[in-house]
Amino acid sequence: MFEQLVNGLTQGSIYALLALGFTIIFGVLRMVTFAHGEVFMVGAYAGFVVFTHLQDNLVLALIAAVVATFLLGALIEIVAFRRLRNAPHFSSLLVTIGFSVVLTQLARLIFGAEVESIPMRQIEGLAFSEIRIGEVYVSYLQLSVLMVALLIMAATFLFFRYSRLGTAIRATAQDHEAAMAMGVDVNRIFTITFAFGSMMGGIAGVLIGFYYNLFYPTMGVMLGLKAFSAAVIGGLASMPGAILAGLLIGVVEVFSVDFVNSNFRHLIAFVFMFAVLLIRPQGLFGGGQLKGARGD
Amino acid sequence: MLELNDVNTWYGSVHALRGVSLSVGEGEIVALLGGNACGKSTTMKSILGWVKPRSGDIVFRGERLIGKRPSQIVDAGIAPVLERRRMFPQLTVRENLMMGAWRRRDSKGIAEDIAKMAEIFPVTASRAGQAAGTLSGGEQQMVAMARALMARPKLLIMDEPSMGLSPKYVRTIFDLIVNLNQSEGLSILLVEQNANVALSIASRGYVLQTGVVVIADRAAALLENPLMQKAYLGIA
């Protein structure tokens, strides 16, 4: 029971990370991206390639994913959003869908359509060494996932709350014209924000790829949908909301596998989300601006 | 100090500024007057680099501004106080001030200026940790001015500072403007619908009508001008 809770939280922390990236992007640009799941996939592959071909080091894999998805995010923002700032919203939406298709196809071209895994001898140290916490056994891998996810979340909060750039991003989210009047380069803020949100998706990609040790070109589709849903349930612009919703979905999913059948876990997760939205249409922390970096 | 020469600005097919020329001298308060949609805001946006005029010249302290980015114009020494104050509502008062100093890197100078703002605008200190959106309109106007001054501008452009404020606060704000002008030698371009108040502190004024400067004169003369009295000063 308690072990299942840890499993759920581990999985949920990855959803939370992915949803958080999505939320940050939406909170600042007021735009939805449909390429987030594929950015996640790119992050997963970046980590996979470094881990299997260069050095089997989880930290290096994460750094590779961070760099790759940060740059990819910046590229997507410039092409899909900056270039189309004065176009109807649908144009940007369409370009992000285009990106998601192109990225999936590229991955298929490079890696093939089959599922790849890290060879057992490289990952067994992480996946099968366990430590005991009280009555519960937790694998090193699970612990790493949880730690990385929590660390990134905490760093994100501190960044938005205390750093100069984080404050400027919040200011831009609240009133981008006023920010421009202070001499803030609003375009640059948008690009950095998008890159930052994408980077969080990329980290989530490495974590989930390693957690299940499965890498395939369409791995971001269902995850992208779930992150989007978690972000909506959280209130779309609320960082604590995204985190809470992500964790909840993870836990619900893991327990549903226990009680129903693992084939239905996606179904259960989405039924749960519908239920939440029926009760709270505005989401858990609904409404308004990018929230959470202050007590607002 | 600031000189607009035959500036023409278009929004798509709308000719919003038609050959506007005006100037603000060193240490001067100049009023830019006119009703709704007369081109006041467009003039301001043209100066700030938010819209690019099609022709004409904007020169600030010998530097041509047309084609420069908004951030470069802040660097050149022009800071706006926007209409309706435009606080970052969920940022604290102090964070709002820090945003005003966004282009500066001299943390020591910034700290000095924060202390200075606390003297000129006590509310920036007494409410430093409070979300700016929770302040009253008059208090927000103070914070908005302090925030603009954090950029250490040489020219302050104030857009409708009297709008939505009680007469008492309007007086306070305008007294503060005069003080800043006299003690700091700050030049001020006052964009106002309320011609009476604006001309009470300005040395000169321009009246804009549908994108054209129709009257340009000293403030005292404008107050006596029958056309002004009828159209803008509420004197029949």
Q: Closest Cα of chain A to B128: distance in Å?
A: 14
A23-A29-A31-A35 Cα dihedral, nearest 10 degrees: -70
What is the reported pLDDT for B173? Answer: 93
Q: Give the helix/strand (H/E) hosting A20.
A: helix A2-29
Report yes or no: A187 at the B interface, CB cutoff 8 Å.
no
What is the reported pLDDT for B66? Answer: 96
CA-based max dimension of chain A: 58
Answer yes or no: do B98 and A289 touch at CB < 8 A.
no
Choose, out of B65, B91, B150, B156, the residue to mutate when testing the contact with A (most A CBs < 10 Å).
B91
Phi/psi class of residue B181: alpha, beta or left (left: φ > 0; alpha: ψ in -120 to 50)? alpha
Closest-CA residue of B relative to A184 is B71
Backbone angles phi and psi of A119, in degrees to 5: -55, 140
Answer yes or no: do A289 and B90 touch at CB < 8 A.
yes
Looking only at the bridges linking them, the beta strands covering A130-133 and A136-139 are antiparallel
Q: Closest Cα of chain B to A185: distance in Å?
A: 7
What is the reported pLDDT for A269? Answer: 77
Cα–Cα distances in angstroms (integers) from residue A218 to residues A40, A48, A215, A249, in the given order: 10, 15, 9, 21
Task: Show the low-confidence residues of chain B (pLDDT under 50).
Answer: none
∠ Cα B21 B202 B220 (to 5°): 95
Q: Give the helix/strand (H/E) hosting A136.
A: strand A136-139
Answer yes or no: do B99 and A179 touch at CB < 8 A.
yes
Dump strand ranges (E) for B150-203: 155-159, 187-192
Report yes or no: A171 at the B interface, CB cutoff 8 Å.
yes
Size of interface A-B (CB pairs under 8 A): 69
What is the reported pLDDT for A287? Answer: 56
Closest-CA residue of B relative to A162 is B95
List the 150-169 stretch of A: residues with Cβ below 8 A of B.
164, 167-168
Q: Give the helix/strand (H/E) hosting B107.
A: helix B107-120
∠ Cα A280 A286 A290 (to 5°): 165
Answer yes or no: do B88 and A294 touch at CB < 8 A.
no
Q: Average pLDDT by consecutive 10-residue portion of chain A (296 residues)? A: 87 94 94 94 97 90 97 97 90 95 97 92 80 82 92 96 96 96 97 97 95 94 89 88 92 83 77 86 71 48
Closest CA to A215 of A102, A62, A107: A107
User: Tens digits of per-residue pLDDT, A173-230?
Assistant: 999 999 999 999 999 999 999 999 999 999 999 999 999 999 999 999 999 888 888 8
- Interatomic CA distance for residues A44 and B73, integer angstroms: 43
> Tell me, what's the ipTM?
0.93
A91: its two tokens: 């144009």
CB atoms within 10 A of CB A189: 21
CB atoms within 10 A of CB B138: 17
What is the reported pLDDT for A124? Answer: 79
What is the reported pLDDT for A292? Answer: 58
Dihedral sign for Cα atoms in the order B11, B17, B19, B25: negative
A30: its two tokens: 């007021």
Backbone angles phi and psi of B131, in degrees to 5: -60, 130
